Each structure stands twice: as C-alpha cells, then as structure tokens.
C-alpha cells in the first residue's frame, strides 16, 4: 500500500478504536470486530489514514484487555481470527492502514508463561518474569510502586519470592533481561505482521527493562502530596533504562524486514516525556515515532503547546512525534479544556484545527469528532477497577470509554441492541453521528473540513515549524513547505481577541473551517476562535493595541 515516494505514517491521521465501545454486532452489549468492520466507512469518510485497535487478544479482562493471556489469539468476546482478517481486508479496501496494540511489558497472570514461571525456581520459564527475594524483614525487594496503588511487588508463596507488576497484581512484568523473552515477543509481533497489519502501537514502551540491581527509586519533587503515591517517586530505576534502546532496535530490525511498517510507542512518565520521545524516535533504528501524555493533560496554555513542540524538534531533529489530545486513558479533552459553563463544541472545533497545525503524525480518539464529552460514571457503574482505591479523587477511565453513539433516537445510540457494558447517557447520545452528519458547522463536519484542508496543504502536513511571538492566550504556529506558508492563529481563552495581520487570508476549503472575522488587516477571533492565514510568503500577526 506504499506509494513509493514517502513513508505513509509521517503525515498520517490515526483514528483510535476502542473495540468494546465502537459497535456491537451480536447484542451482547460489547463491541466486537464485525461491528468495527461495519463502521469503517465512517472512519474513511472522516479523512483518517489508519486505525489503531486497542487490545482484542485473549485475556481475562482484569484490565480491559491490557492483561494478555495469549498474544496470538483473539478474545472470543470480540470475535474470531477470521473476523480480524475480514476487518483488515475491508480496512485496506477503504485505504485505511491497520495498527494493533502490543502490550509487551507485562502479561496476564493467567498466561501459560507465568503459570509455568511461578511453579518453582527451576522450570524453563523461571526467569521469564521479574522475581526477587524478600528483604530480611519480609518486605518487598524495592520501594517501587504500582501505577494502580500499593507496592509494585506481590509475594508468591510457592516460590517464596516477590514478582514485579507495574500495574495490577494480575499483570506480572516480563523480564526483558532474558533474551528468550524478547525472542518470544518478537515472534508474536511477527505473527501479526504475517497477517497483514501495518504497524504497532507499543503500550508503555519505556517500562520494558527494569534496573537489574533493584535499586530504590528516589522521591520526586512535589509541593503537595499527589492523590496517587506513584507520582511521589522519580522512577529512575523501575523503568526507562538504557538497555531499553537495544530492545527497540531489535523490534525495528524486525519491522524493517516487512517494508512500510510503523511502530509508535507510548511513553508513560511524569517527567522527561519529551526527551524520551526524542531519544526513542531518533536515529532511524528504533521507533518510527512516539507519543506521550504531554497534551493529554489539563494544561491548555499557548506556552505549554509551544514549549513541548520546540523541545522535541530541538532534541530530535531526525525524530518524529505523534500528538493527540484524547485517548482511552484520560478525561476527554473538551471536558478538560472547556471552562465551567463554556461551549464544548467550540473547544472541539478549535482543537482539531490546533492539532492539524502541529508537526508530526496525529491521533484522534473515537468520538472526539463528535465533540464527545466525558461521561459521568457513578460508583456502581464502574468497570475499570484499576484506580478504584483512589475514588472519588481519581474516577478511573470509564468516563472516556463509553460507547460510540451512531443514532440519536435509537436505544443506546445504535451501539447495541442489548445492554451496553457501560451506559450511554443523554449528554453523549445527543452528539450522535446522524445528528451531525451533513449539518454545516457541526463538530463532525468541522473535523472533515479541517482534515481535508490539512491533506490538501503540504505546509501543514510536512512543512517546517516555527512560532510567532504572541502573548497568552494567543498561539501562533508558522508552517512552511512546498507551495507556500500557513500561519495558524489560536485564541485559547473564553474571551474575544483582536490581532493585526499581514499576509494572505484564508481561501477555498479553509473558509469551511475558519472561525474568525477579518477587516482591513484586523483579525477578530472569538472565544476559542482560530484562523489559518495562507499565502506564498510567511504571514504574520501581532496583537492589536
């Protein structure tokens, strides 16, 4: 499917599908692979280039599929291998690449590898997981903490040792210091490459290798103790080890043998996220690109966006970033960024223009093209139990994982004929696809127009990047490439702003997505307004006084 002239992923728009919440085809209330296949036309019509499928592998579902019990089997909850093959075929027919999750840092405790490993200290897989003796007083080997609360170690009475788990106790960490483990994981990746996938999203890619000497993590600087103690440590030894680079190089060598394949890694770290992204995607011998949680946070300032992009471009001039505002792990961005009482649809329309002005590959999470908001999940409705110990300060991730809504007047938004695994509530159902499709100015049609303009504008897809010096809350991004330049201007506040402009004004398709007014070189941006100023020479702007 490569066009022979460039690597397809460099200017791609990747649409993340959360399988259990996209479309149910059999009435059991859980989305599945045939349901995804049925709705792929929506993704293609939106203007995406690829889909990323969150895990659909065999799993006891203690962490919604991120606890894999067989890397090369489909969870019957989602369908069969034949269903997966049919999905890939239909995606390729529509011109969509298929990227699948690879959860390699840990497995389920029901994976046959772990069942064997925990049997005793001498079996063939005894060293496939991270085992360590207790301290003399019986406490865990290190002070490392689990992301989900408590120690990152669980004692096993059979081996009389602790095993490491950075997440749930049901998700033991694999031992990447053992070459046989890496070989087995590469075999699993090879299995899916042979089935025609176009790339991998690598879960928690910086968690693979732990400090072999098992040294304690130092405290992280904080002014107020965080709601999750995990954030009180600097994870110097429990992850992001230098030895991780050799693992990524082996993965790259494998994917390079299959042609135009892409790997994007998730960097999970509170500090140094951009630096790790840069390190892991530079040099042409590791990841093709990486993403982090920098833009998945509540921070919505011009300084934040600019500083992170500039830092990456400086640290990795030959690297490649991937940016997104929402995914299955965080509160939806329109709920994070809209001021109390504000218009979430206005923020949603601005957000896609903002994302499309960034250099790199772009990620869209299912439902954000509808302006979908975070669902208010009651305690008795919880399905994601990873963060239950921190309720209600941390409410878990169910609120961003509720089902996709297709038809406003159908039960459960047309997602299922049964009882959905998470509720479809009125605020979400009101944003159904059929309510927005073809309606000028809707969030859905704005996404389509903006993505189409980006596709038609080389400067936005692959151009160089600079910034205009504007004060908060104004952000100005300058993209230059073949065919001209574009200045992307954003008012990130809930108050109008006025700028003086010089250079070309939006024309053609850009008008469909332009949210501002211009008169005699003065650009008026409403609350959360934005504009693209395009021309053969770099446009400029400055605040009006």
Positions marked active-site: 203, 266
Distance CA 540, CA 502 (A): 5
Give the residue carrying structure tokens 């402009």: 501
Bridge partners of residue 533, in order along the sequence: 487
Distance CA 11, CA 360 (A): 6
Give the residue carrying structure tokens 């530079």: 282
Distance CA 483, CA 211 (A): 50
> Kind and range of the H or E element at 466?
strand 464-468
Distance CA 197, CA 72 (A): 13
- CA dihedral in degrees (220, 225, 230, 231; nearest 10)? -50
Whether the Cβ atoms of residue 30 and residue 380 lie closer than 8 Å to each other: no
Q: CA nearest 437: which of 9, 39, 150?
A: 39
Residue 372 DSSP label: P
Token reading at 58: 């065999």
Q: CA nearest 513: which of 444, 466, 467, 461?
A: 444
Q: CA nearest 57: which of 49, 46, 65?
A: 65
Token reading at 322: 């991937």
Distance CA 441, CA 177 (A): 54
Residue 362 phi, psi dihedral angles, 5° rounding? -115, 140
Give the residue carrying structure tokens 């299995």: 191
């Amino acid at each position: 499917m490569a066009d022979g002239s460039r690597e397809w992923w460099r200017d791609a728009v990747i649409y993340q599908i959360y399988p259990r919440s996209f479309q149910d085809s059999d009435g059991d209330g859980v989305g599945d692979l045939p349901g995804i296949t049925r709705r792929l036309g929506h993704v293609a019509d939106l203007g995406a280039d690829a889909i990323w499928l969150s895990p659909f592998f065999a799993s006891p579902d203690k962490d919604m599929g991120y606890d894999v019990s067989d890397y090369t089997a489909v969870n019957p909850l989602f369908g069969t291998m034949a269903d997966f093959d049919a999905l890939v075929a239909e995606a390729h027919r529509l011109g969509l690449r298929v990227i699948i999750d690879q959860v390699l840092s840990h497995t389920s405790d029901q994976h046959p590898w772990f069942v064997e490993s925990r049997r005793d200290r001498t079996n063939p897989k005894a060293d496939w997981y991270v085992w360590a003796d207790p301290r003399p007083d019986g406490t865990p080997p290190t002070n490392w903490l689990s992301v989900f609360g408590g120690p990152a170690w669980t004692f096993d009475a059979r081996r009389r040792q602790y095993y490491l788990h950075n997440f749930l106790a049901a998700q033991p960490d694999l031992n990447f210091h053992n070459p046989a483990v890496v070989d087995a994981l590469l075999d699993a990746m090879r299995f899916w490459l042979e089935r025609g996938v176009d790339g991998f999203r690598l879960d928690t890619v910086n968690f693979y290798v732990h400090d072999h000497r098992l040294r304690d993590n130092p405290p992280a600087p904080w002014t107020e103790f965080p709601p999750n103690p995990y954030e009180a440590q600097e994870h110097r030894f429990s992850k992001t080890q230098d030895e991780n680079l050799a693992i990524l190089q082996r993965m790259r060598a494998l994917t390079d043998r299959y042609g135009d394949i892409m790997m994007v890694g998730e960097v999970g770290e509170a500090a140094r996220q951009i630096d790790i992204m840069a390190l892991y995607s530079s040099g042409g011998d590791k990841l093709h690109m990486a993403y982090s949680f920098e833009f998945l946070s509540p921070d919505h300032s011009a300084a934040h966006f600019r500083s992170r992009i500039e830092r990456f471009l400086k640290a990795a001039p030959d690297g490649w970033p991937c940016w997104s505002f929402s995914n299955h792990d965080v509160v939806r961005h329109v709920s994070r960024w809209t001021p109390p009482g504000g218009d979430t649809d206005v923020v949603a329309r601005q957000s896609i223009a903002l994302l499309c002005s960034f250099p790199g590959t772009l990620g869209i999470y299912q439902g954000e093209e509808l302006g979908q908001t975070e669902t208010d999940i009651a305690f008795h409705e919880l399905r994601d139990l990873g963060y239950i110990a921190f309720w209600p300060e941390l409410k878990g991730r169910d609120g961003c994982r509720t089902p996709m809504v297709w038809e406003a007047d159908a039960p459960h938004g047309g997602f299922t004929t049964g009882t959905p695994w998470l509720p479809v509530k009125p605020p979400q159902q009101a944003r159904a696809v059929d309510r927005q499709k073809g309606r000028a100015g809707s969030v859905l049609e704005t996404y389509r127009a903006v993505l189409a303009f980006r596709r038609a504008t080389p400067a936005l897809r692959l151009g160089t990047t600079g910034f205009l010096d504007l004060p908060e809350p104004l952000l100005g991004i300058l993209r230059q490439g073949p065919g001209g330049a574009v200045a992307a201007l954003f008012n990130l506040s809930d108050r109008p702003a006025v700028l003086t402009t010089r250079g070309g004004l939006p024309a053609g398709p850009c008008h469909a997505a332009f949210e501002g007014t211009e008169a005699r070189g003065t650009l008026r941006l409403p609350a959360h307004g934005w504009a693209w100023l395009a021309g053969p020479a770099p446009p400029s702007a400055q605040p009006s006084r």
